[in-house]
């Protein structure tokens, strides 16, 4: 290779890498981009599903709705309660929702949904902090006993003394109390357990442990309160959760004795209300039932869209009403193509064409990778069989291809119909596959089959599908997608990698097998 | 395995690897610098290659007819009616696809193909139309051409009676690097394709003697179907074979080639076709890498 040529290659790669570093550095330091913003957030949609048998009379149902705060942002609230009047108002720290109605029939349903993006909360507590002599009036109210939080009961006070939690710094006291409450065996008990009962039984559910924690903390001179909420998981459930907060150094710090979270709250916790409250209250003499439906998905961080000011194609897509998915696919295709290049030129895996696997991977976004592979297999097998039948008619080439295209259309629609019947909704999305991509894949399979035999065609199809899965894994990464949207110069690195691979003369992995007799001679 | 032995093993592997030419190395260091893309059609189009050969006086099989479009199909069939032995080929086909070999004329009209099947005039017309339409090539509007059938030299006829064995010579700047004889078998369906079960026999460039034979990746000493010995045989008119390969390679503006030579019983070595991206299996057949041979020629 002439050395001027090698220089040209080296300079090209160097220039591309430098341009990327400069552009990305400028954005990070001068324009206020943040790499952390490229990480997607988990967004949960919570739906309260309430059913009530009003028996034709007046009905009143009351519950709590979450409020946005720095730890959780609530959006997209929707109420569907035909025949009932819905209102919500702030009551102290909480937001109370009420549904009322007259002549309410049996089987009335209420669906209230909202979206939440929660964040993890963690406190580093100052171990030397002493218990203050006095608190502001609004806080000192959280030192008083309540009906189920028996702060001045002799047994509570005796336990406090036994723990040695009545003296020393705040954190020390809380650790001793937390040690007791979090050490209690878990009891799957539904209903209310007061602090004293939890202490006497020596075991409790989440609300019993939280009340005992609050009672002991208050007795130790630390303001504390109950918190009610939900643990956000991708399920439908009835279980809500309770934990506690203590006032330490001017902050309300969370403590969950049940799940052993000391001075921290995991991301998946949703706060609904503060205080010793019932989550649902309703007028007597109605049958009332409820469920929480929770679905989770990854979403781009809202901060990312706001901060990506330069070359803001994201905002442009929003203005034009184009789907975000399309933008992601467009920007990820070069990365998918690089994956194909790696598999072809470094691994040596045979595939149908250079970009077909990346295109199939992009198309499989709606079906998911597994069903995408199934979809490709169905179409390839059916259409190849059709191709084989056509061969007997000995038609000219272009009309044959046109017939195959019709075959792909028909196979896609039939597969969608059948999978809908079988309840395979993701496979039904096969109709979103670009027809041409499937037709070309099927034709390539058939040609390979006739020219090189079934084994070779199956190898190429298998290789294609493996690369499709690899492309899908990388192209489907939301974090990478947002990174490329915010820092499109990453694609320059992809170009640099391709230039390097374009001059790479190394032995492909598959060639170690092909030339094994030459490479691994016995004389070694 | 101890650390020192592992390192020695790795060093030996690296040394052997340096001699091997893989696909990446072939393309980057041999094909791209030596074969300009604009000259690829000369190798891809057998008719174009034959024009270059004719100008340089490289011996080839005689072209009986050329069919350049659907309109010429009937004419071509008529022109062949008097001929007994001929081969129909697509101008840009590869891997032997679309090649029909005709062995004799039938009394009732039509011909008998190699292997025994009958070829009617209508079937020949259909085949020519398919070829012209690009059914066997990656381009639309291919051409079909008909060549006089080569009758193989006895040496090669002994290896395979029903068709042609060819000598594949890899050349760089017109100098042979490595060569092998490709022998069709019953298993390979009469095709001289090593992947389909054909035999590859390495020939020593200097002596013209067969030194190694490979069948389906395994080194063999005898023909797996006939039991004939394959090693130490002396190829007929070896000097001429290499000479026509050299002349063919130098007649085209392509520096790195696979030249396919056959030996006709009467006319001696003829060049069948050239390939601008010759395969690498020849290294397995010869039991050695192309790397040192490339260095020998480039030095």
Q: How far is A418 from chain B (nearest CA, A)?
A: 35
| Chain B nearest C-alpha distance from A521 (Å) | 9
| Stronger pLDDT, A103 or A12, i.e. the higher one | A12
* Length, in residues, of chain B: 299
Partners of residue B16 in chain A, C-beta under 8 Å: 518-519, 521
Q: Which residue of A has its CA nearest to B286?
A: A518
Condensed to tens digits (0 to 9), the pLDDT of residues A105-152 reads 888 899 999 999 999 999 999 999 999 888 998 899 999 999 999 999
Query: Number of residue pairs across A and B with CB atoms under 8 Å?
Result: 64
Query: What's the gap between Cα A27 and its chain centre?
Result: 27
To the nearest whole percent, how much of chain B has pLDDT over 70?
98
Q: Hey, are the CB atoms on A505 and B28 less than 8 Å from each other?
A: yes
Residue A2: pLDDT above 60? no
Searching chain B, which residue's CA lies closest to the CA of residue A501? Answer: B24
Query: How high is the pLDDT of residue A524?
Result: 37
Q: B59, B49, B60, B55: which is closest to B92 by C-alpha?
A: B49
- What span, in angstroms and rounded, lies between the C-alpha atoms of A306 and A324? 15
Report d(CA B139, CA B141) in Å as an integer: 6
Average of per-residue pLDDT across B292-296: 93
Contact A519 B283 (CB under 8 A): no
d(CA A41, CA A426): 24
Does the distance separating the beta carbons of A515 and B284 come in below 8 Å?
A: yes
What is the model's pLDDT at position B140? Answer: 67
Contact: A508, B33; criterion CB under 8 Å: no
The answer, for A6 touching chain B at a CB cutoff of 8 Å, is no
Whether the predicted pLDDT of B145 surpasses 80: yes
Residue A51 DSSP one-character state: E
Of A252-256, B159-163, B294-298, the one with minimum mean pLDDT is B159-163
Tell me how far apart the alpha carbons of residues B169 and B253 are, in angstroms, rounded to a whole number.
Answer: 17
Across A92-106, A243-257, B187-201, the highest mean pLDDT is recorded for A243-257
> Would you say residue A523 has pLDDT above 70?
no
- Determine contact: A320 vs chain B, CB below 8 A: no
Work out the percent of chain A whose per-residue pLDDT is above 90: 47
Q: Which residues of B touch A453 (CB under 8 A)?
A: 196
B40 pLDDT band (50/70/90 cuts)? very high
pLDDT digits (tens, 9 = 90+) for A469-502: 999 889 888 888 888 888 888 999 999 999 999 9
Q: Do A519 and B28 touch (CB under 8 A)?
A: no
Instruction: Tell me how far apart the alpha carbons of residues A176 and B84 are, in angstroms, rounded to a whole number.
Output: 106
| Whole-angstrom distance, CA of residue B248 vs CA of residue B246 | 5
- Look at residue A284 and tell me whether its pLDDT is greater than 90: no
Over range A507-522, report the average pLDDT: 89
Query: What is each CA distance from A498 to A2, A133, A232, A461, B297, in whole angstroms?
Result: 20, 69, 43, 24, 31
The predicted model scores a pTM of 0.73
Q: Phi, psi at residue A227, to the nearest 5°? A: -130, 135
| Chain A contact set for B22 (CB, 8 A) | 505-508, 511, 515
Of B13, B24, B135, the CB nearest to A505: B24
Nearest to A349 by CA among A467, A497, A476, A223: A467
CB contact under 8 A, A451 and B95: yes
- Closest CB to B22 among A451, A453, A508: A508
pLDDT value at position B35? 94
| Among candidate residues B70, B68, B94, the one with its CA nearest the CA of residue B146 | B68
Counting every residue written for chain A, the total comes to: 524
Mutation site, B11, B19, B24, interface A, largest A CB count within 10 A: B24
- What band does B138 get if pLDDT is binned at 50, 70 and 90? low
Span A212-216, average pLDDT: 95
Supply the mean pLDDT for chain A. 88
Nearest-angstrom CA–CA distance, A142 and A131:
14
Could you give the percent of chain A with pLDDT greater than 70? Answer: 98
Mean pLDDT of chain B: 90
- pLDDT reading at B281 higher than 50: yes
Least CB–CB distance from B288: residue in A506, A508, A518: A518
> Tens digit of pLDDT for each residue in B193-252?
888 889 999 999 999 999 999 999 899 999 998 999 999 999 999 999 999 999 999 999
The Cα–Cα gap between A179 and A158 comes to: 16
- Which residues of chain A does B195 touch, with a Cβ-Cβ cutoff of 8 Å? 452
Tokens standing for residue A421:
């019947």
Contact A505 B25 (CB under 8 A): yes
Please list every residue in chain B whose beta carbon sits closer than 8 Å to the beta carbon of residue A451: 95, 97
Confirm or reject contact between A504 and chain B (CB < 8 A): yes
Instruction: Kindly determine whether residue A345 and residue B24, on different chains, have CB atoms separated by under 8 Å.
Output: yes
CB contact under 8 A, B133 and A521: no
């Amino acid at each position: 290779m002439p050395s001027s040529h090698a220089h040209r290659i080296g300079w090209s790669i160097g220039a591309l890498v430098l341009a990327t570093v400069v552009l990305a550095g400028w954005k990070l330091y001068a324009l206020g981009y943040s790499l952390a913003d490229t990480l997607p957030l988990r967004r949960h949609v919570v739906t309260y599903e309430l059913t009530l048998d009003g028996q034709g009379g007046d009905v009143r149902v009351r519950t709590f709705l979450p409020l946005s705060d720095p730890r959780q942002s609530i959006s997209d609230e929707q109420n569907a309660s035909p025949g009932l009047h819905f209102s919500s108002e702030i009551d102290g720290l909480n937001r109370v929702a009420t549904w009322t109605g007259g002549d309410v029939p049996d089987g009335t349903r209420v669906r209230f949904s909202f979206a939440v993006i929660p964040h993890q909360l963690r406190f580093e507590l100052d171990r030397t902090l002493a218990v203050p002599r006095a608190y502001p009036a609004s806080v000192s109210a959280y030192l008083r006993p309540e009906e189920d939080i028996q702060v001045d009961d002799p047994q509570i006070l005796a336990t406090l003394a036994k723990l040695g939690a009545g003296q020393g710094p705040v954190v020390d006291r809380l650790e001793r109390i937390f040690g007791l409450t979090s050490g209690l065996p878990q009891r799957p008990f539904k209903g209310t357990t007061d602090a004293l009962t939890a202490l006497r039984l020596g075991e409790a559910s989440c609300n019993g442990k939280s009340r005992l924690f609050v009672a002991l903390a208050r007795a130790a001179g630390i303001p504390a309160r109950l918190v009610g909420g939900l643990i956000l998981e991708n399920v439908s459930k009835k279980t809500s959760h309770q934990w506690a907060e203590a006032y330490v150094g001017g902050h309300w710090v969370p403590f969950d004795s049940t799940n052993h979270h000391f001075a921290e709250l995991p991301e998946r916790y949703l706060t609904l209300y503060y205080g010793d409250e019932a989550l649902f209250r309703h007028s007597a003499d109605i049958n009332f039932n409820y469920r929480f439906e929770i679905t989770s998905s990854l979403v781009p961080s809202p901060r990312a869209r706001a901060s990506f000011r330069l070359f803001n194609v994201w905002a442009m897509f929003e203005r034009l009403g184009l789907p975000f998915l399309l933008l992601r696919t467009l920007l990820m295709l070069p990365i998918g193509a690089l994956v194909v290049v790696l598999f072809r030129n470094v691994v040596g895996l045979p595939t149908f064409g250079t970009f077909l696997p990346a295109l199939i991977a992009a198309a499989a976004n709606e079906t998911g990778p597994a069903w995408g592979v199934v979809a490709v297999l169905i179409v390839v097998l059916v259409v190849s069989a059709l191709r084989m039948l056509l061969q007997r008619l000995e038609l000219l080439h272009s009309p044959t291809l046109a017939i195959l295209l019709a075959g792909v259309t028909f196979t896609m629609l039939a597969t969608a119909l059948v999978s809908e019947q079988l309840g395979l909704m993701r496979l039904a999305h096969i109709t979103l596959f670009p027809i041409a991509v499937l037709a070309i894949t099927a034709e390539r399979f058939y040609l390979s089959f006739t020219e090189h035999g079934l084994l070779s065609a199956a190898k190429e199809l298998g290789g294609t599908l493996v690369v499709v899965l690899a492309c899908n894994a990388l192209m489907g990464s939301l974090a990478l997608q947002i990174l490329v949207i915010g820092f499109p110069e990453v694609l320059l690195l992809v170009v640099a990698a391709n230039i390097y691979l374009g001059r790479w003369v190394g032995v492909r992995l598959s060639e170690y097998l092909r030339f094994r007799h030459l490479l691994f001679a016995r004389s070694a | 395995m101890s650390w020192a032995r592992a390192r020695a093993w790795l060093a030996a592997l690296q040394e052997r690897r340096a001699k091997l030419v893989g696909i990446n190395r072939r393309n980057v260091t041999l094909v791209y610098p030596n074969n300009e893309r604009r000259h690829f059609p000369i190798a891809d189009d057998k008719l174009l290659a034959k024009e270059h050969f004719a100008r340089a006086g490289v011996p080839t099989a005689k072209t009986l007819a050329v069919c350049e479009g659907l309109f010429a199909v009937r004419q071509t069939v008529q022109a062949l009616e008097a001929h007994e032995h001929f081969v129909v080929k697509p101008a840009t086909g590869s891997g032997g696809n679309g090649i029909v070999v005709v062995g004799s004329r039938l009394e009732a009209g039509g011909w008998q193909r190699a292997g025994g099947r009958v070829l009617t005039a209508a079937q020949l017309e259909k085949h020519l139309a398919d070829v012209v339409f690009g059914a066997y090539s990656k381009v639309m509007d291919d051409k079909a051409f008909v060549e006089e059938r080569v009758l193989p030299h006895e040496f090669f006829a002994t290896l395979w009676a029903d068709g042609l064995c060819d000598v594949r010579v890899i050349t760089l700047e017109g100098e042979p690097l490595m060569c092998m004889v490709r022998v069709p078998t019953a298993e390979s369906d009469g095709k001289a394709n090593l992947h389909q079960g054909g035999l590859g026999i390495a020939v020593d460039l200097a002596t013209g003697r067969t030194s190694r034979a490979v069948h389906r990746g395994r080194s063999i000493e005898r023909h797996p179907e006939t039991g004939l010995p394959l090693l130490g045989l002396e190829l007929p008119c070896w000097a001429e074979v290499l000479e026509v390969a050299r002349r063919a390679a130098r007649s085209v503006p392509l520096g790195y080639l696979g030249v396919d030579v056959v030996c006709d019983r009467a006319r001696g070595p003829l060049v069948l076709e050239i390939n601008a991206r010759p395969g690498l299996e020849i290294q397995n057949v010869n039991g050695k890498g192309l790397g040192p041979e490339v260095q020998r020629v480039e030095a």
